[in-house]
Amino acid sequence: MKHLLSLLLLTALLYGSAFSQGASFEEAVVDVGNIGLTITNSGFFGRANVRNQPTGPPSMEYPLDSGVEHLFEAGLWIGARRSDGTFTVRTGSQTSSRGYQAGALGFELTPNEIITERSTLRDSEALSSLAISHQDYLTSYVDTARVLPNTFIPHPDPAGRLGLRVDQKTLAWNFPFTEAFVIVQFDIENISNAAWDSVYVGIYSDLVVRNVNTTTESGGAFFNKGGHGFLDSLHAVYAFNAGGTEESVNTYGGYAFLGAEWEDPDTGQRRFFHPNVAETYVADGLPAPRTNPRWWNFGGNPDPELSRPGTDIQKYDRMAQPYPNPRNYTLPDGSFDEAAYEEARRNWRETLRTGGQRSEGNYLTLLSAGPFPRVEPGDVLTVTFAFVTALKPEAYQGLEGRPIDNEESQALLRSNLLWAQRTYRGEDNNYNGILDPGEDINENGVLDRFLIPEPPSSPTLRVELEQGKAVLYWARDAEASIDPVTGRRDFEGYRIYRSDPGDDLRGNIANEASLIAQFDKPGNRTGFNNGLDAIALSEPVTFPDDTTRYYYRFESDGLLSGWQYLFAVTAFDEGDPDAGLPSFESSRTANAVRVFPGTPPRPSAEDGKVGVYPNPYRTNAAWDGGTNRTRKLYFYNLPPRAQIRVYTLAGEIVASFDHDAATYTGSTRWYNDFSAENRVLPGGEHAWDLLSDNGLNLATGLYLFTVKNLDTDEVQTGKFVIIR
């Protein structure tokens, strides 16, 4: 024991400085909008085990709570030539079947700070005057640690160090036009004592678009259905499900280079870096800024350019050299065979786009930007990307639309990418990094990014259930919103949305919700001009568990018991028709509430006898999911606290569970796969998945049940039939 303690003490002395610095590994989920993205303080993104553990945090899920994932894992790559002539690439993630492993090669960025959150939302616990978006996450990491913080695990590949610190910032908003992307900004500081030359910065990823709740495929079959592509004008790589047949909405997922800034050592000035300004770089004798998309096979390929890059030289080459490489299309006379090159590029893009249809779509992706000519010691290189998702339009939903990839199917993806660009640009309307005349909206003399017109804030919403009816109450906080661009308080009105039965099974219930009512201010050119009197309460109301003052009320009746409905109330502004500024609306997902109509708790049988529906239950009822663990049968008219038991005709107990109206929010797999935490249940109903206590399916037949009131000991009985 003394020898062990001495060894630990010696190790601590040898590595003490490294052991005491930095922060432990952390991860957080960006989820303020309609995308759920896991971020870390180690330079990588996503949750690699999301296929095997779909009920945990999302990896890169869109729509949120749909089960449709778009990412296995992604990581920051930084490549450069050091002063000793060595080309090195520092990677936050690389090709691995297991994803992140502490201390493993390829995971070369070490936590330096914990993850902190800031928000501009007034009701957020992270509210801060320093926040930029509705959900900022800030952290930092380095490549200089000797061991991983708070461990004795050696840092991988110390010989490949660049000497860098990265301050990472993620930004997300819940506006309808921003809720499908997350912006990631990297401030990369050279903390070594020597310059870096010919620097490239990129994001490596394993993009995989599958519904992890409904697919039955795993292993290679899960990963090889991908279609891949690149939108040249938007500098964006993307992927889609081209061959999977699970029940799911059809979506795109990818990421784009938005822009960068670096300090030009020749002038000492910060300089904007983007392909849009390539001509100015060439005119100054510098390499033109460009983006470079690369793909390679997970399982290897006879072509070395399409196999995994193993060395830093190979990784740097992937960042710097395109594929197909134009150098290979030089004719004997030295001229460039443009026709042959363009044909090769078209064929390669077609292979990527259609590979998933043949179960050959298991590609890894890298999108890099560069070259940044030189980064001196102490200088900071700021590079910004955006993770972007989108639905395919309705015409491209269903299995027939799944493999289609064209401009029409990409319409919403392109729109979301343009909004990511617009959000990043802020006042930079010309996208040239210069504050041109007429662009200084807030007149502060500074080019402000992330400055966009904002709709009013989302109203605070509460939903109360009555049998067959949902009663919506909301506050008037949205009416005080001030647009940061115009400086005006421009609230106009409210819109009320509701989904229909069955909209939840495709995983897109929020977007399926349709407008059922609108109320807005009279006397202008926006909206219906029908006023707010029809929904305004004579006096604001509060609730025993809620001190919020609610000023508006709306009833939605005719709801069917057992089905899930989503309700949302949005606020919209009046816009400015004369200036060509459209009316903007708050997000449906920001305050969406899911409700399950049904019976309230019944203290005794005299108030209503317990029962079961549907009865008989036929396999694959309309509201069931696609597996035997996502089925539902409801017990109704239950007491506030009850014990429920199900028996065979022989008297054998096959299932037993308790019900508590005060705490029950749905406990079966169905709720994990097709619902979300913000749901309201009626209190007198309990869903059962028709599985025995041993997890077995019940056979066709007649079953008996008892319901015992745990407050009065009253017992009620009944029976139901299962037909398979």
pLDDT per residue as tens digits for the range 81-116: 999 999 999 999 997 778 888 888 899 999 999 999
Q: What is the pTM of this model?
A: 0.87
The DSSP symbol for 714 reads -
In this prediction, residue 622 has a pLDDT band, given cuts at 50, 70 and 90, of confident
Would 461-595 and 605-723 be classified into the same CATH topology? yes
- In this structure, the strands spanning 686-688 and 514-520 are unpaired
Distance CA(441)–CA(455), nearest Å, equals 17
Q: Domain limits of the chain? A: 2-425, 461-595, 605-723
Q: Kindly provide the residue ranges of all beta strands, DSSP E only, lying in 41-104, ordered along the sequence.
A: 44-45, 60-61, 68-81, 87-91
Peptide bond into 289 cis (omega under 30): no
φ/ψ of residue 412, rounded to 5: -75, -35
Cα–Cα dist 477/576, whole Å: 22
CA dihedral (207, 213, 219, 221) positive or negative? negative
What whole-number percentage of the chain has pLDDT above 70?
Answer: 96
The correct answer on CATH 1.10.540 for the domain covering 461-595 is no
Query: In this predicted structure, what is the pLDDT of residue 627?
Result: 81
Average pLDDT over residues 234-257: 96
- Each residue of 412-433: pLDDT tens digit? 999 999 999 999 999 999 999 9
Q: Which residue, 482, 417, 423, 473, is CA-closest to 448?
A: 423
Q: 375-392 burial string, b = 16+ CB within 10 Å, else e? A: beeebbbbbbbbbbbbbb
Q: What is the percentage of the chain residues whose pLDDT exceeds 90?
A: 80
Check whether 229 has a pLDDT greater than 90. yes
Q: What one-character DSSP code corresponds to residue 581?
A: B
Give the domain 605-723 fold: Immunoglobulin-like (2.60.40)
What torsion, rounded to 10 degrees, do the Cα atoms 116, 119, 125, 130 define?
Answer: 70
User: At residue 15, does pLDDT exceed 70?
Assistant: no
Q: What is the pLDDT of residue 664?
A: 96
Q: What is the pLDDT of residues 250-278, one digit of tens each?
A: 999 999 999 999 999 989 999 999 999 99
Quote the pLDDT of residue 579.
59
Report which of residues 17 and 200 the model is more confident about: 200
pLDDT in tens, 386-396: 999 999 999 99
Confidence of residue 506 (pLDDT cuts 50, 70, 90): confident
In this prediction, residues 55-78 reach a mean pLDDT of 95
Q: Which residue has the higher pLDDT, 483 or 427?
A: 427
- Parallel, antiparallel or unpaired: strands 110-111 and 135-142: antiparallel
Q: Is residue 494 left, alpha or beta, with left meaning phi > 0 and alpha meaning psi from -120 to 50? A: beta
Euclidean distance between CA atoms 275 and 288, whole angstroms: 7
pLDDT in tens, 340-374: 999 999 999 999 999 999 999 999 999 999 999 99
